[in-house]
């Protein structure tokens, strides 16, 4: 890269941060809050995951029900058509028997 490398001067600079309140006090105050927040996030993620899985399964169940309804309607129509055809055959056979 065209950026020249800056050479260190031998002694590394150490940043000294000033904490107000003290570092230990901050840690004792913030750690329980951080842990509670992470636990709450895990519970919310689990809940959202469960709802997503339920929605997916309900969608698949609806698709299967619609497919089953279509198959049953087709079977019903075939049975009805067969019954009508049988009735017509009986009527035609009866009329032919009377004529002949």
pLDDT digits (tens, 9 = 90+) for 23-40: 888 889 999 999 999 999
- Per DSSP, helices labelled H in 1-100 are 23-99
Helix, strand, or coil (residue 8): coil
Give the whole-angstrom CA distance, residue 59 versus residue 75.
24
Q: Average of pLDDT values for 12-32?
A: 80
Q: Tokens 């800056």 label which residue?
A: 6
Residue 18 — very low, low, confident or very high, per pLDDT cuts 50/70/90? confident
pLDDT the model gives residue 10: 59
Render 33-45 in DSSP notation, one character per residue: HHHHHHHHHHHHH
Q: Average of pLDDT values for 35-57?
A: 97
Residue 72 has pLDDT above 80, yes or no: yes
Residue 64 has pLDDT above 90, yes or no: yes
pTM equals: 0.53
Q: Tokens 């969608």 label which residue?
A: 59
Are the CB atoms for 13 and 6 separated by under 8 Å? no
> Higher-confidence residue: 23 or 50?
50
CA quadruple 62, 66, 68, 73: dihedral, nearest 10: 160
């Amino acid at each position: 890269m065209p950026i020249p490398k800056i050479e260190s001067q031998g002694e590394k600079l150490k940043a000294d941060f000033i904490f107000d309140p003290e570092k230990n006090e901050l840690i004792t105050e913030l750690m329980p809050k951080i842990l509670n927040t992470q636990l709450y996030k895990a519970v919310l993620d689990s809940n959202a995951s469960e709802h997503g899985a339920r929605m997916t399964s309900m969608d698949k169940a609806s698709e299967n029900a619609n497919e089953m309804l279509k198959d049953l309607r087709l079977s019903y129509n075939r049975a009805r058509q067969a019954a009508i055809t049988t009735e017509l055959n009986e009527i035609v056979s009866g009329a032919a028997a009377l004529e002949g």
